[in-house]
Amino acid sequence: MENAASRPYNLGVARLKLPAMILFLVCCVAYYVKVNVGDLLPGITDSPSDLSHYYRAAFCVLQAQSPYTDVDFDYPPAVAFLVTPLAFTDYVTARRIWFWCSQGFLLLAAFLTWRALGRDRAAACCVASVWALGGAAWEGLALGQLGPLLVLLLVLAYWREAAAQGAAVAAGFSLKFIPGVVSIVPLLRRDWRALAVLAALGISGVVVPFAVISHWKSGPAFPVRADYWMGTPAVLNWSLPAVALRIADPPVLGAKLPRNWEFGNGPEGLHLPRGQRWLSAGIAAGVLLAGLAALVTVCRGRLNGAQAPWAAAALISLSVAASPISWNHYQILQYPGLALLLCSAVRRRRWLLGACTVVLGALLYQIPREVLRAYYVQHSGWSAASPATLYIWTSVTPVAALLLFGLLLRQLTAEAATPHRPR
């Protein structure tokens, strides 16, 4: 029997006629294939990429050396061990293997998100639009980044419970620290089994690789420039701590950009004073603690099953805004949360919420990227020809992420009394 609670969902879905849905999905798939496959495959060559850092570190592991022997490798050590099988091949082959694996991770994450959102037409259209038009996937795939794998792990963490959720969060934390913030969700749900698995696997994923590296006694046991993790004002670092660092080191109109703005995208090019490092870390901690306090207040210290995905998505939005290092391609981590929010808006016919989601999604990556790319082309590189343009469009993404955090928290309160629907 249909009840009042389910009627808005059914009305919203009924408007999505089958021919229109098929046409929309075909367009999304065609665009995704063109941008994320066709445009990228010619560039999968021996050119440098982020994967080259993983690859060199993995080669060090094969030689029983610390991955931090490569001074450019500044990731958790589990990353080097994960990609070690790729070191048995040449670099170009490794890039191609990793590219197709990343495509698999990303598409599997889309499929699981669709299943979790209800397996209907609204869910299919919302997931397809986010995955096709989000934009950040293109850059993550081109660079050989971990983003697609992390998206898959986040999807598992959002819509799984107990051991599966704990294992997904632990795996994500071992590879990149940002997904670790989702561990707040099982804590607020009092899911002790998930927390036990998370603690055991999380500690193992971090401590064991470091212990192995220390045992080898060949090369440094830690990154040569661990202070790099405290932040950088590099132009493509889109977070609130990065905004503060750029304000603390302002450019002079018409002159060259400050060195850290232009070359601070790696440890070797960053020279940040101690005071600015602590400014960045302090802002990151303050924003994160304020966001966590808001979440705990909204949910009154406890989450139910319907609220868990909303809380996890909100925490990711908060963390990418607050992290000292949050490169522009990190916005791929927002894909599941955007699909969740957009699908809810479509089903309930809350078009203002849907429009806000679309605008915020565009401000997370696509719009600032296009503006900054045009600026770079116009001035033949990064320059201080228009500091206002740089300040605005390197700051809009963390602000949009915080606004998205607020929208997700608002939806979380609406789910407080929502009965559990079967997955």
Domain count, the chain: 1
Rounded to whole angstroms, how far apart are CA atoms 131 and 111? Answer: 11
Q: Which amino acid is at 319?
A: S
Provide mean pLDDT across the span 4-24. 59
CB 268 within 8 A of CB 72: yes
Q: Is the pLDDT of residue 414 over 80?
A: no
| pLDDT surpassing 50 at residue 85 | yes
**Which residue is listed with tokens 């603390």?**
248
Asked if residue 351 belongs to a domain, the reply is: yes
| Residue 126 binned pLDDT confidence (cut-offs 50, 70, 90) | very high
Q: What is the 3-state secondary structure (H, E, C) of 1-15?
A: CCCCCCHHHHHHHHC
Residue 357 confidence (pLDDT): 95
Q: Which of 1-15, 38-52, 161-175, 230-244 has the lowest mean pLDDT?
A: 1-15
Residue 396 contacts residue 363 (beta carbons within 8 Å): yes
Confidence at residue 419, expressed as pLDDT on a 0 to 100 scale: 44
Mean pLDDT of the 253-277 span: 86
Task: Note whether residue 140 is domain-resident.
Answer: yes
Comparing C-alpha atoms, which of 206, 156, 214, 222 is closest to residue 186? 156
Determine contact, residues 158/151, Cβ cutoff 8 Å.
no
What pLDDT was estimated at residue 380? 87
CA distance 175 to 238: 20
Domain-located, residue 420: no
pLDDT digits (tens, 9 = 90+) for 307-350: 999 999 999 999 999 999 999 999 999 999 999 999 999 988 99
The residue to which tokens 């065609």 are assigned: 30
State which H helix or E strand residue 352 sits in: helix 351-364
Question: What is the C-alpha to C-alpha distance for residues 248 and 18, in angstroms, rounded to an integer?
Answer: 54
Q: How confident is the model at residue 252 (pLDDT cuts 50, 70, 90)?
A: confident
Lowest-pLDDT choice from 63-72, 98-107, 349-358? 63-72
Domain span including residue 183: 12-414
pLDDT of residue 155: 96
Residue 26 lies in a domain: yes
For position 212, what pLDDT does the model report?
Answer: 85
CA distance 223 to 25: 45
Please check whether residue 178 is in contact with residue 284, taking contact to mean a CB–CB distance below 8 angstroms.
Answer: no
Query: What percent of the chain clears pLDDT 90, i.e. is strictly above it?
Result: 64
Residue 255 C-beta-side C-alpha neighbours within 13 Å: 8
Whether 7 is in a domain gets the answer no
Give the type of residue at 12.
G
Once rounded to an integer, what is the mean pLDDT over residues 119-135? 93
Concatenate the DSSP letters of all residues of 230-268 into one string: G----TTB-SHHHHHHHHHSPPPTTSPPPHHHHHTTSGG
Average pLDDT over residues 89-98: 94
Q: Kindly state whether residue 4 falls inside one of the protein's structural domains.
A: no
265, pLDDT greater than 80: yes
| pLDDT tens per residue, range 339-366 | 999 999 998 899 999 999 999 999 999 9
Residue 6 has pLDDT above 60, yes or no: no
Q: What is the pLDDT of residues 219-251, one digit of tens each?
A: 787 777 767 788 999 999 999 999 999 999 999
Q: Report if residue 304 sits inside a domain.
A: yes
Nearest to 135 by CA among 337, 355, 366, 356: 366
| pLDDT at residue 422 tops 60 | no
CA distance 121 to 119: 7
As a whole-number percent, the residues of the chain with pLDDT over 70 amount to 94
Q: Give a yes or no: residue 421 inside a domain.
A: no
What's the chain's average pLDDT? Answer: 89
Confidence of residue 367 (pLDDT cuts 50, 70, 90): very high
**Confidence bin at 10 (pLDDT 50/70/90):** very low
What local confidence, expressed as pLDDT, does residue 214 receive?
81
The CA angle 254-256-258, to the nearest 5 degrees, is 125
pLDDT at 1: 37
